[in-house]
Amino acid sequence: MKNQRSTLPYRKWCLLLIATVFLLFAYFLGQKNTLSDPIDLRPEVGTRGIGLGGAFIGSADDATSPLWNPAGLAALKRGNLIYDLSQGAVSFAYPIQPIGTFGVNFLDLNARDRFLLNHAANPIGSFEIGNNQALFSYARKLGTLQIGGSTGFSRASYYGSLWAPNYDVGLLTEINSHLAIGVRLRDIAGVTIRHADGHVLQTFNQQVAIGAVFAPHPIIRWHNRFDIAPAHFGTSIEIGNKTIAAHVGSTFTPNDKLPFQSWRVGFSLNQLGKEFHYTYLNQENLEHRHLISIGMSFNGTRNTEYTSQTNKQKQKSNATVSRTGTTSIPKPVVITQQPGAKNESSTPTSKPEVKTQKPEVETQKPEKTDTAYLSVQIAAEYHIDLPLMLAIIHAESNFNPLAVSKNGAAGLMQVMPATARDLGLKVPQYEDKRKPKLNPNIDERFNPHKNLHAGLAYFKMLLEKYKGNLTLALGAYNIGPGKVKVAGPLNSRGRNYANKVLNLVQYYRNNEKQMENDLKRLEILLD
């Protein structure tokens, strides 16, 4: 129902083809040299960040964020774990709302900071001699501003090296949908690492960097970074979305310890919470030029404001469904909002009504699915196939009840303000609908139970309007019924979204365990 930043679904064979082309390209370009960092700078580790020309200052948004800009952790909505096979780095972060996001990073678990492992029997390397770091980070959003900080310890690549404390801080903010900027201050007081006998082994100087990300198009991002002290510039172009993206970047370093200019190329894949990042580095002093990391995301943030409602409210809503099978949403009037559309004034041509009687038609579901789930009952109430309901939620919000799109759609099913009001939900009038109140008592779109009813009711209307044509109904859900004729066809954006949802439907049908897990996630939110 939202106007997504990118909706370019790819079939599995296409993902494999693109990955293979990049790997072959990088293989033929690969050469052997030696990797080294300036001795006066704390090493920056992370396949994705390095692949973006080191310009990961203005858009850091995963577990490796503290290695670039700790404020980036505040953007996480789910737990994230990344292991950098090439550099022996483990990054973990988890958001706890409304407290903030916590992260931990252990760097250089391999003795030589190299590809995959140091011993065939040890798949994750070992904490041996190297530029080891242990970072503990925290970040939180304050309005549009993201603030974060890290503290930890570093040691030098010498036997007998002691650990020395280091401190980092960072800021990030999105100016508008096309521009985001970030600032990072690393090793605030500098770091001096000593040997056990007292003499200095290594020093890390203070680093000040600013970054900016320009997004002229939803699938194009131009990352830039400038280090004030010491002087350093990185830039990269990234094309794609969260599912698949390719990038090419370059760095310029006026430092005699590193080549003045180098470039890198790579790609990232992120399919259903599983991620893979690859980067090839074209740098003369590198022996290992291929960087690879893998990761996964898990669990969604819980809406603590919703779960803190009184037992009386929850019991009342559950009793309504279990006793009569009816929704708590009144019969809608004419819908005046298309999901994801910029203009809220156009209306559908028909006025289908929300069904108030529990249908006798059964939903298609695996035999193992527990029909006691409230979400199963709700899906049956609207004659919506269970895998289809889960696929729409996954595509819209990834089961995040606090999700807000750049166009102001909100909640599990990404309902726009006017649509929600027409369906009987309480939504205040906002000066900027992209900055809604996350309190479900003020904006009922953030009540997962009511949001799910509203989204399914609206989708049921679209199915009736388009005479049961699932593809057209899905396209209209994304781009608005005002842009979709009853006889079709869909434009490319609507068609891509429909294909994405249909692929997810098939995925759920083929993976009963994943379907059951996501039903449990949804049940936690509803109960």
Backbone phi and psi for residue 280, each to the nearest 5 degrees, phi listed first: -105, 130
How far apart, in Å, do the first and last CA atoms of the chain sit? 24
Phi and psi at 392, nearest 5°, equal -65, -45
Q: CA geometry: angle at 180 spanning 260 and 274, to 5°?
A: 85
Task: Report the amino acid identity of residue 384.
Answer: I
Q: What whole-number distance in Å separates Cα of residue 415 and Cα of residue 428?
A: 14
Domain 309-526 in the same topology as domain 15-300: no
* Per-residue burial over 488-510, b = 16 or more CB atoms within 10 Å of its CB, e = otherwise: eebeebbbbbbbbbbebbebbbe
Q: Which residues have C-beta within 8 Å of that of residue 95, sequence separation ≥ 6?
A: 73, 76, 77, 78, 79, 101, 301
Give the whole-angstrom CA distance, residue 343 versus residue 480. Answer: 10
C-beta neighbour count of 167 within 10 angstroms: 14
Query: Beta 290-300 vs 78-84: how paired, if at all?
Result: antiparallel
- Which amino acid, 72? G
CATH 1.10.645.10 fits 309-526, yes or no: no
Three-state secondary structure string covering 314-377 = HHHHHHHHHHHCCCCCCCCCCCCCCCCCCCCCCCCCCCCCCCCCCCCCCCCCCCCCCCCCHHHH
For 414, left (φ over 0), alpha (ψ -120 to 50), or beta? left
Residues in CB range of 23: below 8 A, 6 or more apart: 278
Tell me the C-alpha distance between 236 and 252, whole Å: 12
Sequence spans of domains, the chain:
15-300, 309-526
pLDDT of residue 42: 82
Contact 59, 223 (CB under 8 A): yes
In CATH terms, the superfamily for domain 15-300 is Outer membrane protein transport protein (OMPP1/FadL/TodX) (2.40.160.60)
| Residues facing 250 on adjacent strands | 235, 263
Coil, helix or strand for 242? Answer: coil
Q: Is the peptide bond before 98 cis (omega within 30 degrees of 0)?
A: yes
Angle in degrees, CA 55, 59, 61, rounded to 5: 120
Percent helix, strand and coil across the chain, each rounded to 5?
Answer: 25, 30, 45
Mean pLDDT by 10 residues, the chain (527 residues): 40 46 43 41 85 90 92 91 85 92 84 43 46 91 92 86 92 89 91 91 89 91 87 91 90 75 90 88 75 84 37 39 36 38 37 37 40 84 93 94 91 93 91 90 92 94 91 92 84 90 93 90 87
pTM: 0.53
So what's the pLDDT on residue 21?
A: 47
Q: What is the DSSP letter of 523?
A: H
- Alpha-carbon gap, residue 19 to 520, rounded angstroms: 33
Measured CA to CA, the distance from residue 92 to residue 80 in angstroms comes to 6
> Six-digit token pair at 174?
């999105």
Are the CB atoms for 220 and 230 separated by under 8 Å?
Answer: no
Rounded distance, CA 336 to CA 122, Å?
60
Nearest to 274 by CA among 59, 15, 520: 15
Q: DSSP characters for 43-88?
A: PP--HHHHHTTT-TTS---STTGGGT-GGGGGG--EEEEEEETTTT
Among residues 78, 82, 59, the alpha carbon closest in space to that of 174 is found at 59
Using DSSP, state whether 89 is helix, strand or coil: strand
Residues 6 or more apart whose CB falls under 8 angstroms from that of 201 comprise: 156, 158, 161, 193, 194, 195
